[in-house]
Amino acid sequence: MTAGHTVLVLRLAAPLQSWGGPSRYNRRETRPQPTKSGILGLLAAAEGRPRETSISDLLDLRLGVRVDQPGSLLRDYHTFSDHRGVPLPSAKVNTKGVQTRTSPAKHTGVTQRFYLQDAVFVAALRGPTPLLEHLEHAVRHPAHPLCLGRRSCPPTGPVSLGLRPDAELADVLSDVPWQASAHRRAQARGAEVTLEATVEDPAGDQFAVDVPDTYDLKTGTLFSRRAIRHLWVTVPTGQEAAKPADGGDPPANPDHDPFALLGW
C-alpha cells in the first residue's frame, strides 16, 4: 500500500444515466457501467475547470466501479428540425467542403438516445491524498451542476460518500454498504448480495478504451485504453437470512438470482 494515497467514493444514482461509448451523430448509445471519461468529466465540472484546461493530473487516478443496481436500457426517440423552417443540411459536402442540402428536401430528422434507467453504481478513485481531498470538496460544493454522463442526467441525492485514507480499490468496493434503491433492497432474500465490480489494474487481462486526452470541443476527444480486471464482491443486504421451517440450516446461496445481471 502506497503511503499518501486516498480513495474517493462516489454514489452514482439517477432516474437516467448515459455513459457514452464510440457512437456518434444520430445514434448515441450508453455503456452498461460508468466510464472513466464520464467520471473525470464530472470531477472537472465540479471543480469548474474550463474544457480546454489540461486534465493530465486526473488521468493517473485509478478507477473502480461496483454495480449495485444495473437498471435497464431505455431508448429515447427524438425528432429535430431547423427552427427557421429551412431544409436540413446533408451529411455530404461539395468540392469546396460546404454541406449541401438533401434532395428531396428534408425538414425533419430522427435521432436516438440510449440511457440506463434506475441504475445505481459505486465509483472509487484512488490517487494522491491532496488531490482527492480537493476533488471531494469540489463534489460537495460543485462549481457547475453535476451530471451522470449527459447534462440531462442529474444525480439523485449527494454524490460523495467520503474519503477512505490508505485504502485499496478492491477493499473499498467490498466495504461500502449496498447502495441500491430501497425497493431493490427490499427484494433481497438473504443476508448478503454478490455484486459485479471492475477495477483498474495495470496487470488486468482486459481493456477499456475510455481514457480522454481532453474535453476541448475545438479539438475533439481522443480515447486511450486502460487495463482492468473484473471481480465479484459480497456485501450485507441488511436482511435476515431465510431459515427453513424445520429449523435446519438455511439453503446455500439463498440470494442467488440467475436474472440479476439483466436487472430483472
What three-state secondary structure class fits 214? coil
Q: How far is CA 125 from CA 64, 74, 119, 161, in A?
A: 6, 28, 19, 12
**pLDDT value at residue 149:** 93
Q: Which amino acid is at 132?
A: L
Structural domain count of the chain = 1
Instruction: Find the CATH number of the domain harbouring 64.
Output: 3.30.70.2660
Q: Which of 65, 12, 47 is nearest to 137 (CA)?
A: 47
Is 47 within the bounds of a domain?
Answer: yes
Is 222 within the bounds of a domain?
Answer: yes
pLDDT of 1 > 70? The answer is: no
Domain that includes residue 156, residue range? 5-72+117-252
Is 82 within the bounds of a domain?
Answer: no
Rounded average pLDDT over 230-234: 96
Is 212 within the bounds of a domain?
Answer: yes
Please give the grid coordinates belonging to residue 119. 441504475
Higher pLDDT residue, 242 or 209?
209
Is 139 within the bounds of a domain?
Answer: yes
13-49 pLDDT, tens digit each: 999 999 986 666 678 889 999 999 999 999 999 999 9
Is 83 within the bounds of a domain?
Answer: no
Is 228 within the bounds of a domain?
Answer: yes
Please give the grid coordinates belonging to residue 169. 480499490
Whether the model pTM is above 0.75: yes
Q: How many helices (H) and strands (E) does the chain have?
A: 5, 11
